[in-house]
Amino acid sequence: MIIGIDLGTTNSLVACYKEDGPQIIPNRLGGHLTPSVVSVDGDQIYVGDVAKERMQLYPQESAAVFKRTMGTDKKYRLGSKFFRSEELSSFVLRSLKEDAEAYLGEEVTEAVISVPAYFNDARRKATKRAGELAGLKVERIISEPTAAAIAYGLYEMHDDAKILVFDLGGGTFDVSILELSGTILEVRAVAGDNYLGGEDFTEILVDMWFAENEKEYKLDRDNMDEKTLRHIHKQAELCKLGFCERNTSEMRCLIGEEEITSSFSLSAYESKCEDLLERIRIPVRKSLSDAKLRLSEIDKVVLVGGATRLPIVRHLVAKLFRSLPDTSVNPDEAIACGAAIQAAMKERVDTIREVILTDVCPFTLSTEVSIERDNGTFENGHVCPIIERNTVIPASRTETLYPLRDNQKSIRVNVLQGESRFAENNLQLGTMEIKLPEGKKDDNSVNVTYTYDINSILEVQVKVNSTGEIVKQILKGQDVDMTDEEIAARMEELAYLKIPPREQEKNKLLLVRSERLYEENFGDDRMVIEQHIRKFEQALNTQDPIRIDAARIDFKEFLDEWEKQKN
């Protein structure tokens, strides 16, 4: 059986699919939530509730919130040992695997693991490595909002709908807009913040507690021992949860032998959280802008993640969307349940209705270029976007690039992922060195084509236009287990995407037809026809299939109406 895992910043869960639907698998202590905490005592490694308790006593031997640094070089020191984020995550995954085996009574070797939609390639690869270190074959890395949408049964809705999944967990925040059409669940846009979550709302209360008591009790936060700081953090977490039930909440901290108690109102807490709330609004606005939708066009808002239980978060969502969000599924468990349903789909379980999931590029795929300044010098390190973020995949886009000098011997194509206009701030996925023949720079252009598949396969094709020579490179994503032959076959299937929009027959027909009409007319009529040709050509230049399809319909209607009037 393939299990579904929600590898969370604060808590993790594992689920399976049974005849009556997805089920959360209890851990060895009978709970559903396994704290994503690891603690080391000599050669003994503790995970979950025991590790969380040990963190209060032995913070120097424990680690938490390490998901935030997944895919980076950061190392955590636990006692005398050092661990990277994927190693710590593998301990959590192994614990979940063992719980699943005990519950199911069979060996578990395969899993679907969820990640934030805004995780880049490095973070996704690190998540897959963590699964492999735990002894799991990672069948698929699924985006958390997509898993949540599946869990809510949105793919079984009878009407087409646009859904916004608002996913605020312990350490990450994602907004995804999905569009349901029949059995197709299409991701329209994603946005998020990998460093925003429930932990940050807890830290606000820690700050408020210190601000109220620092002077009176002569507290030195900077020189306070780690154990005391962990205690204060725990009490702040309990105080935060208290706001779910009442408008005031107390925070009691034992400092030395003295108990210091502070009472905070929900309104004062909300005021202090305003900067965090604004950070939430930014990805919401960004996702709507990328999806080219207005707030009023969203049919359903779904809340996911434990931090969405906070009243101030729910109030913000209700205020933003002027409607109550859907909370029919436990926000802590939705992602794990969705991952389990996705696992059942991969196993072809008969009781699951198959749904086609489409996705988008969460980050722009670009290449490094140099730009010429007014004084004739060149400045390196800039980027040329090729497939922009939130482009529906599969997709293929082409850009024409030129060498900097005459008789330049080669040109380097650095494949980048990210939104910065500077290459050094983006993630480098790969590089290619292309030889050029001697000649003037304007005659030695290259066409750089990126073709990105839903299986996280990126094909980079560089064509030297003066010789016709083509060089290709395949860059595989984090969860690709396809052979080279299978990848080649898949790229062959997508060959139609590489045909430039102008050369696609349905577009070429309209362009030729419009040129004929232009030649048949004169005067003001020619000006009108030319305006419509330019408008259609502008759409073709975007290489965006959705814009091109819409423009082609308008252009054809214009041509049909023109000929009808003239005849």
CATH of the domain at 300: 3.30.420.40
Q: Is residue 119 part of a domain?
A: yes
The verdict on 270 and 282 lying in the same domain is no
Q: If we measure between CA atoms, which residue out of 192, 202, 72 comes closest to residue 125?
A: 72
Q: If we measure between CA atoms, which residue out of 42, 117, 109, 136 comes closest to residue 81?
A: 42
Strand partners, 474: 459
> Which contacts qualify for 319-324: CB closer than 8 Å, 24 or more apart?
320/281, 320/284, 320/295, 321/164, 321/295, 322/295
The parent domain of residue 210 ranges over 198-274
The verdict on 341 and 439 lying in the same domain is no
pLDDT of the residue at 427 = 85
For 90, residues 6+ apart whose C-beta sits below 8 A from its C-beta are 129, 130, 131, 133, 134
pLDDT of the residue at 538 = 87
Q: Is residue 153 part of a domain?
A: yes
The verdict on 69 and 138 lying in the same domain is yes
Q: Is residue 497 part of a domain?
A: no
For 107, residues 6+ apart whose C-beta sits below 8 A from its C-beta are 101
Domain end among 216, 247, 274? 274
Please indicate whether residue 225 is annotated as part of the active site.
Answer: no
- Domains of the chain: total: 4
Strands 365-372 and 378-387: antiparallel
The verdict on 69 and 137 lying in the same domain is yes
Please indicate whether residue 167 is annotated as part of the active site.
Answer: yes
Choose, from 144, 179, 199, 368, the residue flagged as catalytic: 144
The verdict on 188 and 235 lying in the same domain is no
Instruction: Give me the sign of the Cα torsion angle 36, 429, 179, 356.
Output: negative
Choose, from 99, 121, 167, 179, the residue flagged as catalytic: 167
Q: Is residue 452 part of a domain?
A: yes
For 139, residues 6+ apart whose C-beta sits below 8 A from its C-beta are 2, 110, 111, 112, 343, 346, 479
Q: Is residue 45 part of a domain?
A: yes
Please indicate whether residue 67 is annotated as part of the active site.
Answer: yes
H-state helical runs in 422-523: 484-493, 505-520
Please indicate whether residue 544 is annotated as part of the active site.
Answer: no
Strands 34-35 and 11-18: antiparallel
pLDDT of the residue at 61 = 94
State how far the Cα of 505 lies from the Cα of 509, in Å rounded to an integer: 6
CA 218, distance to chain mean position in Å, is 44
State how far the Cα of 239 lies from the Cα of 241, in Å rounded to an integer: 5
pLDDT per residue, tens digit, the chain (567 aa), is 899 999 999 999 999 998 888 999 999 999 999 999 999 998 899 999 999 999 988 999 999 999 989 988 899 999 888 999 999 999 999 999 999 999 999 999 999 999 988 787 788 889 989 999 999 998 888 888 888 888 887 666 657 788 899 999 888 898 989 888 776 777 888 888 888 999 999 999 999 999 999 999 899 998 899 899 999 999 999 999 999 889 999 999 999 888 999 999 999 999 999 999 999 999 999 999 988 888 888 988 989 988 999 999 999 999 988 888 887 888 899 999 999 988 888 887 666 666 666 677 778 899 999 988 777 788 888 999 998 887 877 788 899 999 988 999 999 999 998 888 889 888 888 889 999 999 998 888 999 998 887 656 788 999 999 999 999 888 754 444 555 565 456 446 545 445 667 778 888 888 888 888 887 777 788 888 888 998 998 888 877 777 888 889 999 999 998 888 876
pLDDT of the residue at 498 = 53
Q: If we measure between CA atoms, which residue out of 528, 536, 530 comes closest to residue 555?
A: 536
Q: Which two tokens stand for residue 522?
A: 């004169």
The verdict on 316 and 182 lying in the same domain is yes
Query: Residue 297 in 3-state DSSP?
Result: helix
The verdict on 207 and 62 lying in the same domain is no
The verdict on 281 and 293 lying in the same domain is yes
The verdict on 445 and 317 lying in the same domain is no
- Dihedral, CA of residue 206, residue 211, residue 216 and residue 222, to nearest 10: 70
Q: HEC states along 13-48?
A: EEEEEECCEEEECCCCCCCCCEECEEEEECCEEEEC
The verdict on 398 and 345 lying in the same domain is no
CATH (domain of 241): 3.90.640.10
Q: If we measure between CA atoms, which residue out of 202, 153, 152, 143 comes closest to residue 7?
A: 143
The verdict on 170 and 143 lying in the same domain is yes
Domain end among 225, 243, 274? 274
Choose, from 52, 67, 125, 300, the residue flagged as catalytic: 67
For 475, residues 6+ apart whose C-beta sits below 8 A from its C-beta are 415, 429, 430, 457, 458, 459, 460
Helix axes 311-321, 274-291, angle to 10 degrees: 40
DSSP characters over 118-183:
T--HHHHHHHHHHHHHTT-EEEEEEEHHHHHHHHTTGGG-SS-EEEEEEEE-SS-EEEEEEEEETT
pLDDT of the residue at 155 = 61
Q: If we measure between CA atoms, which residue out of 546, 111, 188 comes closest to residue 344?
A: 111
Largest CA distance in the chain: 97
Helix axes 334-346, 144-151, angle to 10 degrees: 90
* DSSP code of residue 439: S
Can you give the pTM of this predicted structure? 0.68
Choose, from 6, 87, 332, 459, the residue flagged as catalytic: 6
- First-to-last C-alpha distance (Å) of the chain: 67
State how far the Cα of 197 lies from the Cα of 194, in Å rounded to an integer: 8
pLDDT of the residue at 91 = 96
State how far the Cα of 315 lies from the Cα of 271, in Å rounded to an integer: 13
Q: Is residue 244 part of a domain?
A: yes
Q: Is residue 498 part of a domain?
A: no
Asked if 145 and 172 touch (Cβ cutoff 8 Å), the reply is no
Residue in the block written with tokens 């060498």: 403
Domain end among 274, 307, 334? 274
DSSP characters over 231-271:
HHHHHHHHHHHHTTT-SEEEEEEEETTEEEEEEEEHHHHHH
State how far the Cα of 45 lies from the Cα of 39, in Å rounded to an integer: 6
Q: Is residue 15 part of a domain?
A: yes
The verdict on 289 and 435 lying in the same domain is no
State how far the Cα of 101 lies from the Cα of 95, in Å rounded to an integer: 10
Specify the DSSP element, H or E, that contains 12: strand 11-18
CATH (domain of 449): 2.60.34.10
